[in-house]
């Protein structure tokens, strides 16, 4: 695709470098931007240059934060004895949006994946082990994907932590709320039978 | 969606303001950017601030250009007697990518649409009428959408230009190359019968 302006070309290449955005979509978006007032484009542009300069990783939980320690870690109303271990920042946002979780988080920054060359040393695992040894931490909740990599990471952490005096739990796996039984895959349905919960408990929670 | 950083929030809002990009996609893209090296983000950001500063509209054809007159208008190898009238810059790029067209363009910047409050005075129509009156222009090719607005615009231009000594043509409407006849809509199929072309002509062109 040959474009009539090298500046437009640069903008299309920048947008096209984003995951899931092809050349045609990038062109459509760049032309959209070109139609906006100059002030709006300036603001659009600045929001990205500010991003890397001002966003840090929380020194405690590795979540992203504008300050050294994130607002979740400094929130004294939260249960400091419970830490939810997640892969990425987007998982924190997803769990926060449920409004069901009142503990802290620990963001690993990925999962162990030998195929992609990601080992335990590439993740913030040592920081998690340090936190787990601190007084007051009673439970670690693993909220990792049920992929091979997620399961490997959970198992690695479990082996490292099994001598520590803390409970280790994982998210419940089962039929999704609103799902029809007949369309559930066998593995999920099997797990939901193995891990069945007391009916009385399930109605009092909901 | 509550985000742990107001700078991330700003980037998500910026990306979410683009057409067809929702909040979740915007978050995914912003987190992707956050994982890139600082130099890359700086380049990403600059490509937009440069956009509005350096991209102009060609004083002759209203196409976008880095210079006062665009590279198509200044290309002396092109047929200066033929002007293709299009709605938008993206149409120029689409036609250029066919490599079948060797004339000039005129970008209207939209189509007449009373519903959206767009009248002839909002488009670069007077500039087109000026160009059409110049010596040497022999044909105007209307390449507008076959929507009500596109047809209205073509008819408006036709009425304005019908006394000028130039040919006015429009793109051929018919069955798309590679399309199966049975799936073509009636209007298109009907038009393709009315505007049938000589078989000998169609094979010599392809």
Which of A4, A17, A55 lies nearest to residue B34, judging by beta carbons? Answer: A55
Q: B179-188, pLDDT tens digit by residue? A: 888 888 888 8
How would DSSP label each residue in B79-140?
EEEEEEEESSHHHHHHHHTTT---EEEEE-SS--BGGGTB-GGGTTHHHHHHHHHSTT--EE
Nearest CA in chain A to B15: A44
Predicted confidence at residue B206, as pLDDT, reads: 55
Map residue B142 onto helix, strand or coil: strand
Range list for CATH 1.10.8.420 in chain B: 6-53
- Asked if A63 is an interface residue toward chain B (Cβ–Cβ < 8 A), one would say yes
Q: pLDDT grade, residue A205 (50/70/90)?
A: low
Give the per-residue pLDDT at A141.
Answer: 93
CA distances from B112 to A62, A147, A192 (A): 54, 54, 60
Given CB atoms, is B99 within the 8 Å cutoff of chain A? Answer: no
Range(s) for CATH 3.40.1360.10 in chain A?
Answer: 81-171
Angle between helices A38-54 and B23-34 (to 10 degrees): 50
Distance from CA of A31 to the nearest CA of B (A): 8
**In chain B, which residues have their Cβ closer than 8 Å to the Cβ of A6?**
66
User: What ipTM is given for this predicted complex?
Assistant: 0.81
- Mean pLDDT, all residues of chain B: 89
Cβ of A45 under 8 Å from any chain B Cβ?
yes
Q: Hey, is the C-beta of B54 within 8 angstroms of any chain A C-beta?
A: yes
CB interface of B with A, residues 14-33, below 8 Å: 14, 17-21, 25, 27-33
Classify residue A64 as left (phi > 0), alpha (psi -120 to 50) or beta.
beta
Q: Tell me the CATH number for domain A81-171.
A: 3.40.1360.10
Model pLDDT, residue B181? 84
Domain boundaries B79-171, corresponding CATH code: 3.40.1360.10
pLDDT of residue A144: 93
Specify the pLDDT at position A53.
83
Residues of chain A numbered 72-91 and touching chain B (CB < 8 Å): 72, 88-90
Axis-axis angle for helices B38-54, A38-54 (nearest 10): 170
How far apart CA B40 and CA B37 sit, in angstroms, is 5
CATH superfamily of A6-53: RecR Domain 1 (1.10.8.420)
> Which of A20, A48, A66 is closest, CB to CB, to B41?
A48
For residue B13, name the pLDDT band (cuts at 50, 70, 90). very high
Helix, strand and coil percent figures for chain A, each rounded to 5: 45, 15, 40
A62 lies within 8 A of chain B by CB:
no
List pLDDT tens digits, range B61-120: 999 998 899 999 999 999 999 999 999 999 999 999 888 899 999 999 999 999 999 999
Residue A92 touches partner B, C-beta closer than 8 Å: yes
Contact B11 A46 (CB under 8 A): no
* Confidence category of residue B124, pLDDT binned at 50, 70, 90: very high
Q: Does A12 have pLDDT greater than 60? A: yes
Residue B88 CA to residue B110 CA, distance in Å, equals 6
């Amino acid at each position: 695709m040959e474009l009539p302006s090298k500046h437009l070309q640069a903008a299309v290449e920048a947008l096209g470098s984003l995951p899931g955005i092809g050349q045609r979509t990038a062109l459509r978006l760049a032309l959209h931007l070109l139609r906006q007032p100059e002030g709006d484009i300036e603001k659009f542009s600045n929001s990205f240059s500010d991003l890397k300069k001002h966003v840090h990783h929380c020194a405690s939980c590795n979540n992203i934060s504008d300050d050294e320690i994130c607002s979740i870690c400094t929130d004294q109303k939260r249960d400091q004895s419970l830490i939810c271990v997640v892969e990425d920042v987007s998982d924190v946002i997803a769990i926060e949006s449920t409004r069901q979780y009142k503990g802290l988080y620990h963001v690993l920054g990925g999962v162990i994946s030998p195929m992609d060359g990601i080992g335990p040393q590439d993740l913030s695992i040592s920081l998690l082990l340090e936190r787990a040894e601190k007084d007051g931490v009673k439970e670690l909740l693993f909220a990792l994907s049920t992929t091979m990599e997620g399961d490997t990471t959970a198992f690695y952490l479990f082996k490292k932590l099994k001598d520590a005096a803390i409970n280790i739990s994982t998210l419940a796996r089962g039929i999704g709320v609103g799902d029809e039984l007949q369309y559930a895959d066998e593995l999920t349905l099997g797990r939901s039978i193995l891990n069945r919960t007391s009916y009385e408990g399930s109605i009092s929670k909901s």
